[in-house]
Structure 1
């Protein structure tokens, strides 16, 4: 079907005219969430008042807008409540909404709540690597290193080149006293992404755990060099490398 193109003079007139009020649909609300979260929140309320599927759509748009507005702690319970209500939905539809709740709680710095949401997502889609990875991150924040290692291993079984999962398993094995196993993952991560700051910093930690200070210092210096070359000197991994090298 041929695309409809407005004549230039008509397009200019429309741009100069006051914008018409957008119809409240999920698509228009979700599109609005990124560029104008407050307007999207208002549209979401209109959708929620309609009940039924529109109410669910409004809840989801509300949560998206809250994240975009920098309010993940407010968004997370909305995502979670929506997922809880989706009792008739297929697991493939329900699990991602639980995961969005987990992501929002993670952004809000609430790992225990995030892990609970990821638990629900994994229960419905156990073969989804991103959900395993999300829970592994939260377990690392809670210093549950065995849980971190298990979930990172599951994620890697599903996606063998998931770099963050390699680094989480490396960190877990390092802390649990298995630095040789940690080095396997750290080496693989650096080989896959030679300029990855987090991979270089973690491999430096593993080298230090193995008593190889020279290799540790080399990795941390490489991380600082790459950070400087790419304008990322304020990256948390660069800050960690500077701290290690200053000792």
Structure 2
């Protein structure tokens, strides 16, 4: 939270908050327990809000996404003064809440929260991309593309946005436009895992199995810990099963 750098709290409270966030990154389960105890002891006010935020961050890190989202939403609704008067802080919490809802597979709630953040920060391409992800997770491919169009208007050099829009075009049934966006993404970032994943899917659909395999193997070699690599692995297994029959 932005208040970690400068906020209306005692230095000792801010130091404890910073330590809590550090621990949440290293050991989220332990941090969640400690933050819960701190929050219960702190009660209402800024210290309790900081403790609650740290607990929500730790819960997100431990995979308790729905619980984290609920906590963040409650914190957002009950921010104590003067935190409640900080528009940047409110927007940041809206984004964090939206991401937690998205991770908990509740994209409708995520879209609502991202829309609120977008209203407050419409010139930030990340806000448009956030809502596009939530819309895509609900199968609203046209809505996702519209948001990504806006994101690219604000940042036409972001390869990841082109890769996302390629996925939206593909799911919407337009493989040609999807490939155009893939090529734009790869021109900007030749090894972008998400773009290679999309190109492999499009190549497979066109019957170019060797090209698809090459793209997916590139992901697994170049970004083995990425989500795209996990998906590429599954697709390679499916391809091997189909070709062995």
- Note the C-alpha offset of 1:208: 6.2
Q: Is 1:166 equivalent to 2:162 in the alignment?
A: yes
Residue 62 of structure 1 corresponds to 55
Specify which of 150, 154, 158 is matched with residue 150 of structure 2: 154
* Aligned length in residues: 221
Superposed CA RMSD in Å reads: 2.7
Q: Is the 8 A contact 1:26 1:58 kept in 2?
A: yes
Q: Is the 8 A contact 2:102 2:134 kept in 1?
A: yes
After TM superposition, the score normalised by the length of structure 2 is: 0.77
Q: 1:238 to 1:163 in 2, by over 3 A?
A: farther
Q: Is the 8 A contact 1:129 1:155 kept in 2?
A: yes
> Radius of gyration: which is bigger?
1
Q: Is the 8 A contact 1:190 1:196 kept in 2?
A: yes
Greater RCO between the two (CA within 8 Å, min separation 6)?
A: 2
Unpaired stretches in structure 2, ≥5 consecutive residues: 1-11
Q: Is 1:35 equivalent to 2:26 in the alignment?
A: yes
Question: What is the DSSP-based 3-state SS (H/G/I as helix, E as strand, rest coil) of the residue aligned with 1:235?
Answer: helix
Q: 1:225 to 1:33 in 2, by over 3 A?
A: closer
Residue 93 of structure 1 corresponds to 89
Q: Is 1:226 equivalent to 2:218 in the alignment?
A: yes
Q: Is 1:239 equivalent to 2:238 in the alignment?
A: no
- Note the C-alpha offset of 1:44: 4.6
Specify which of 186, 190, 196 is matched with residue 190 of structure 1: 186
Q: 1:93 to 1:179 in 2, by over 3 A?
A: same
Residue 207 of structure 2 corresponds to 213
Q: Is the 8 A contact 2:193 2:223 kept in 1?
A: no
Query: Equivalents in 1 of 2:215, 2:56: separation in Å?
Result: 37
CA deviations over 1:43-68 (Å, ceiling 9, x no partner): 45434534221122122111112112
Q: 1:241 to 1:192 in 2, by over 3 A?
A: farther
Unpaired stretches in structure 1, ≥5 consecutive residues: 1-22
After TM superposition, the score normalised by the length of structure 1 is: 0.76
Q: 1:70 to 1:201 in 2, by over 3 A?
A: closer
